[in-house]
Amino acid sequence: MKKEKRPLRLKLRSEGRSWKKSLMSYWQLYLLLIPVVLNFVLFHYVPMAGIQIAFKDFTLIEGIWDSAWIGFEHFIRFFNAYNFWTILSNTLILSVLSLAFSFPLSICLALMINEIRHKKLNSTLQTIFFAPHFVSTVVVVGMMQAFLSPENGIINILLMKLGVIEEGIYFTRLEEWFRPMYIISGIWQNVGWNAAIYISALSAIDTTLYEAADIDGASKWQQLWRITIPCIWPTIIIQLILKCGHIMSVGYEKVLLMQTSTNLGVSEIISTFVYEKGIQSQQYDYATAIGLFNSVVNLIVLLLVNRIAKKRSEVSLF
């Protein structure tokens, strides 16, 4: 005899009861979830209504809803701008170089810290590497300017003492030094913080795997490649996907503080251009269009990288 299928109505009722039972049992957790939901609704979804000014000739007098529609004129204006390709290439170069250097270094740092068995030394090193993340961007740029000062900067003094240079170099004014300064300072500030997620993943690895590898005579290097890396590989892939999803999102604060009239050729990026047009020139509609273009590109890259990761490694965000 064929087993009778459960009626859909009864199934829905049971699911409704289970949901109500869960709500009654864990009402404290749902109560704590309310501020999070409100934060997303108020500060992430409600402001999305303002995106429409990217397609309007926005004026403060007429407001968001009454301003005239002009379609894609702001986007066309941006694409036809004389410095469009310069801004786009500067943004991509800074972002890709930062990702190429900082991403593997954070993994290496986590692996090295994980190998330190002395608990006090381990926690001390973690604190030392995590601390720069909490230093203000303004302070970081100020430190760079002090260290690289041509008159009394420690870097110039050291290079002159070693006979590498005869007089101080204006590092902060030269185009060829802007990207190295940005990337190196970014590594110092964030590599420890980015390593935290990998340290957590490493702590979750079953120690019996290493014990079995020791019995089989595996070296530390073999254990690294055969046990450690495969165990944290899903975490690495997820982090890489998330990083690629922000490939166009280079923060304007640090770049703006490091920017001078002499290094503008390599320091002008999309975020600083949006700041200039939106805040300084008050062209809110034009700046919104550029920001929307930036977000769409990030979304496309995120979906593309996620699809490739899902096919190659069967690990993905969705």
Q: 99-144, pLDDT tens digit by residue?
A: 999 999 999 999 999 888 888 999 999 999 999 999 999 999 999 9
pLDDT tops 90 at residue 3: no
Q: Which two tokens stand for residue 96?
A: 């890709």
- Residue 167's identity, in one-letter code, is E
What confidence score (pLDDT) does residue 25 get? 83
- Average pLDDT of 16-28? 77
CA 27 to chain CA mean position, Å:
34
- Residue 262's identity, in one-letter code, is T
Specify which residues 176 forms β-bridges with.
Answer: none
pLDDT tops 60 at residue 16: no
pLDDT tops 80 at residue 47: yes
Query: Confidence band (pLDDT; 50, 70, 90) for 301?
Result: very high
- Is the pLDDT higher at 26 or at 131? 131
What confidence score (pLDDT) does residue 8 get? 44
What confidence score (pLDDT) does residue 1 get? 46
- Average pLDDT of 70-83? 93
pLDDT tops 60 at residue 262: yes
Residues 6+ apart with CB under 8 A from 24: none
What confidence score (pLDDT) does residue 151 get? 82
- Average pLDDT of 249-278? 90
Domains along the sequence of the chain with CATH: 73-313 (1.10.3720.10)
200-203: long-range pairs with CB below 8 Å, 24+? 201/231, 201/232, 201/235, 202/110, 202/111, 202/114, 202/228, 202/231, 202/232, 203/114
Please tell me the distance from the alpha carbon of residue 171 to that of residue 178, in angstroms, as a whole number. Answer: 8
The pLDDT > 70 percentage for the chain reads 95
What confidence score (pLDDT) does residue 4 get? 52
Please tell me the distance from the alpha carbon of residue 105 to that of residue 161, in angstroms, as a whole number. Answer: 31
Average pLDDT across the chain, whole number: 88
Q: Which two tokens stand for residue 166?
A: 């005869």
For 134-180, the pLDDT digits (tens) are 999 999 999 999 999 888 889 888 988 888 888 888 888 889 999 99
- Is the pLDDT higher at 137 or at 21? 137
- Average pLDDT of 231-258? 90
Strands of the chain (E only): list them: 56-57, 68-69
Please tell me the distance from the alpha carbon of residue 261 to that of residue 254, in angstroms, as a whole number. Answer: 15
The pLDDT > 90 percentage for the chain reads 55
- Average pLDDT of 243-249? 89
- Average pLDDT of 177-201? 93
Closest CA to 178 of 250, 251, 265: 265
- Residue 315's identity, in one-letter code, is V
